A and B are shown apart, each in its own frame.
Chain A
Amino acid sequence: MTLSVALGPDTQEGTRTGTEASTDSLTAPDIPWNLVIWNDPVNLMSYVSYIFQSYFGYSEAKANKLMMEVHKKGRSIVSHGSKEQVERHAVAMHGFGLWATVERATGGNGGTSRNSGKSGGSGQGKGKRG
């Protein structure tokens, strides 16, 4: 990703709520597929964060955290769910111009992310596709 004119977003954590983690532990065994966003040098950090907020309905803090993970680690799992769900999200991400792939969740995801697997939600946020 690229940081152009504006300053980098505040990536401080700490606004995550406990409910995300508990929801996650309830649904985790039923989650077979991940939606992965890959880093590229073109997409603006602000744009990626905007998409995570508007499409997935994630908080600003969570969107920025995932965005920084993409930027620094090269990829991040931003959502998970059934194959059909993550494929639908992947098409939406391609519509926005993000580089997204789907992959089967294997449990250990190669250490690519500490907690992105907890990003929860199947994208039924306030955002919508169009």
Chain B
Amino acid sequence: MAKAFKYGLKGITGFLEPAERELLRSLIDDVISMLQPAEHASTDPLAALIGLDMDVQEPTDRAVRRLLPNVMKDDDGASLEFRQLTERSLRETKIGALRAAALDLDKDDVVLTAEGARHWSMALNDVRLVLAERLDIRDEADAEHVHRMQDWSQAEDVESYLALVYNFTTWLQESLVQAMLQSLDSRT
């Protein structure tokens, strides 16, 4: 069983079983593959280099749209224009955090610097956002319904399995963030 993250002298530390690390690695890989920017034939290499993507569109997949939301509520045109300027580098930021977290999964004991912890919290959050879309978590009642699923022996279909995975990543992120909050406190 995984151990909750703790803040101590060595920084933020945690422990994950091999199967848990394998699970996290595959979840992270899934999210990375969703975030890889599409290469268009017309992509201007110089524009790509400075992070512009004039061919970008609002994502059609709900989960990707949640990871890369519109910057304006009621102005799709302005949001799209903003995407052209920022979405590529936002995708890269997210992929960077996910890759960094995946690298830390090579050992049972996870020892994180402040930077590493931040990458982990971002990566776990993106993983949870994607799982939540797949589980159709739309409001607090849905979240509560999923949260009640805690017993691995009940996992008899894909949805209940996903719910258990979601709850595991939620628990892991909560323990990590509590440790990060402690590290903030101790700095002041």
Contacts and interface: CB of A to CB of B under 8 A. Distances in A.
12 contacts: A2-B170, A4-B170, A36-B73, A41-B132, A41-B137, A41-B142, A42-B128, A94-B69, A94-B71, A100-B69, A101-B69, A130-B118
A67 to B, nearest CB: 12
Interface residues of B, number: 42
A94 B68 contact: yes
B94 A95 contact: yes
A44 B180 contact: no
A42 B175 CA distance: 15
Interface string A66-97: 00000000000000000000010011001111
B140 interface: yes
- Residues of B contacting A: mostly: helix
Given A41-B142, A50-B180, A130-B115, A101 B72 contact: yes
A6 interface: yes
Interface of B: 66-73, 82, 86, 89-90, 93-94, 97, 115, 118, 121-122, 125-126, 128-129, 132, 137-140, 142-143, 147, 170-171, 173-175, 177-178, 180-181, 184-185
Given A42-B129, A46-B174, A47-B121, A103 B73 contact: yes
Given A44-B174, A91-B86, A101 B184 contact: no
Interface residues of A, number: 29
Sort A-B residue pairs by CB-CB distance and give the 6 closest, nearest first: A97-B125, A41-B143, A42-B132, A46-B177, A5-B174, A95-B93
Contacts of A44: 170, 173-174, 177
A43 B122 CA distance: 11
Nearest to A47: B177
